[in-house]
Every structure is written in structure tokens, then in C-alpha cells.
């Protein structure tokens, strides 16, 4: 395995790949620095060592994951471009190890279809205040979706009216349904902290919207970029296999 520790110049085949998420969102990889061997070599630098062949390298990486030696995993970085509804961004920004920058409604106006429309309506869980459980039947759900779309249309008309009469963009956006608006942003994170995010946000009790983005990141980008790390992550973190 070649240690191309800096793939930020666009040479990695995953760079530029985009995966659609939810109704209007996406995840796109913009830059990638490092691979599995970058992690192994970072661990061996303590002894001024380097690759000792695939079998020993893989064994060392699994040892690092199993024993929670986390700093070598920080030597790999991902930079993504995400388009998410604000309800998703609110959960992502809680991971303060991410570096991020989002579009601003003060500079660019929103478009008429920049709102999240769920495909199903989830019911409130009876025993978990922050979770959902089950869904409304299709007849109730379809009626509620129609009301939501009409609400978006009315809100956007008021937003446009405010802009047309000269209200500033930063104030006109008060008319928009806040949690439903899609924002595009750039996020950068190292592999160690990304795994922490994935562990929490791919969990069955995570909110559907953030789980959809976390799963897309893991399946389409993390696993192909770091196959050994992903295998060890599944074995010792997601499945909690002991030493």
C-alpha cells in the first residue's frame, strides 16, 4: 500500500464524488489527506520505523484501534461539502472537533425549493423524550405533507415580498421555516474524530436525518478510503468486541 499522505490535490479517485441524501441534500468529498498506512506510519514514528509489509501493518492498525491509541488516526483528514437541512446542521455542529463554514443567508438569497420535505412522518416515542418510534399511516402523512408544502410556499412568498420592498436579507429570512431550510457548508475533520461522530450518529437511536448523512459518509467515503480502519472500527467500536 502506497502512503500518499496528501491527496488534497485531487488525485484520489474519491475526491469529487457526490452522494445524494434525503430529498435535496448531498455529501461530496472535496479533499482527503492520508490512508491506512498514514496511520500505521504515524504510530511507528515513535521508533523511527515505517511499513513492515501489509500483514504486520494491518495487525498494528487493529492493535491501535483495539487499545484506543487514538492519536495516529488523527493523521488522516477528510474535507466534505454538505447540503443539509438546518435540523441536521444543529446536530452536526455539536461535534466541536469539526472545522466548518456554512453559506450565509445574509449574502445569498434562498431559493423556493430550499426546504426539507420528509418522506414519512415519525411518531413520538412513548418512552424516550428525544426519539421517534413508528410512523403515521400514509393517509394522515400525505395530508400533513401537503400542509407542510403549503406552509413553505406561504413562508417563501412573505420572504420574497420582504426582499422586494427592500428589507435586508438578514431580516427577510425571519419568514423562512428555520429548521427546514437547506444550507450548504464545508466541514473538515480527522479520522479519529470522524469515527466518534459516526459511532454516535449512525446509532439506531440517532435522529433519522443525521443518521442518513452519517451513513452516507461512512459507506461511500470512510470505508473506501480507510478499509483497514473501517474493519477495525466495526469490530472493536461498533460491535464492541473485547481484546
Residues 74 and 137 in one domain: no
Contacts of 75 (CB under 8 A, 6+ apart): 5, 34, 38, 39, 42, 190, 191
Q: Are 136 and 121 in contact, with CB atoms under 8 Å apart?
A: yes
Percent helix, percent strand, percent coil in the chain, to nearest 5: 45, 20, 35
| Stated pTM of the model | 0.90
144 lies in a domain? yes
Q: Which of 114, 85, 111, 35 is nearest to 208 (CA)?
A: 85
Given 68, 201, 211, 240, the catalytic residue: 201
Annotation says 201 is catalytic: yes
- Give the tens place of pLDDT for each residue, 23-79: 999 999 999 999 999 999 999 986 556 778 899 999 999 999 999 999 999 999 999
Same domain? 175 vs 185: no
Q: Which three cell numbers stand for residue 84?
A: 443539509
**pLDDT (tens digit per residue) in 143-186:** 999 999 999 999 999 999 999 999 999 999 999 998 999 999 99
Structural domain contains residue 243: no
- Of the CA atoms within 13 Å of residue 243, those in its CB half-sphere come to 6
Asked if 136 and 170 sit in the same domain, the reply is: yes
Q: Are residues 199 and 214 in the same domain?
A: yes
Instruction: For 10, list phi and psi in degrees, rounded to 5.
Output: 95, 10
Amino acid at each position: 500500500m502506497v502512503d500518499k499522505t496528501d491527496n488534497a490535490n485531487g488525485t484520489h479517485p474519491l475526491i469529487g464524488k457526490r452522494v445524494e441524501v434525503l430529498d435535496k441534500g448531498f455529501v461530496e468529498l472535496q479533499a482527503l489527506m492520508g490512508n491506512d498506512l498514514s496511520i500505521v506510519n504515524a504510530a511507528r514514528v515513535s521508533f523511527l520505523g515505517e511499513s513492515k509489509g501489509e500483514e504486520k501493518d494491518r495487525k498494528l492498525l487493529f492493535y491501535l484501534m483495539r487499545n484506543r491509541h487514538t492519536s495516529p488516526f488523527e493523521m488522516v483528514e477528510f474535507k466534505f461539502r454538505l447540503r443539509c437541512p438546518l435540523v441536521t446542521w444543529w446536530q452536526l455542529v455539536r461535534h466541536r472537533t469539526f472545522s466548518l463554514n456554512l453559506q450565509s443567508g445574509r449574502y445569498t438569497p434562498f431559493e423556493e425549493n430550499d426546504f426539507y420535505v420528509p418522506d414519512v412522518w415519525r411518531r413520538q416515542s412513548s418512552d424516550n423524550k428525544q426519539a421517534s418510534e413508528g410512523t403515521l399511516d400514509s393517509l394522515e402523512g400525505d395530508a400533513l405533507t401537503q400542509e407542510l408544502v403549503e406552509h413553505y410556499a406561504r413562508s417563501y412568498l412573505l420572504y420574497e415580498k420582504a426582499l422586494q420592498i427592500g428589507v435586508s436579507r438578514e431580516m427577510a429570512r425571519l419568514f423562512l421555516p428555520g429548521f427546514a431550510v437547506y444550507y450548504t457548508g464545508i466541514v473538515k475533520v480527522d479520522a479519529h474524530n470522524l469515527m466518534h461522530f459516526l459511532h454516535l450518529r449512525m446509532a439506531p437511536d440517532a435522529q433519522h436525518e443525521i443518521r442518513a448523512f452519517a451513513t452516507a459518509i461512512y459507506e461511500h467515503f470512510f470505508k473506501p478510503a480507510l478499509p483497514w480502519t473501517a474493519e477495525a472500527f466495526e469490530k472493536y467500536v461498533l460491535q464492541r468486541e473485547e481484546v
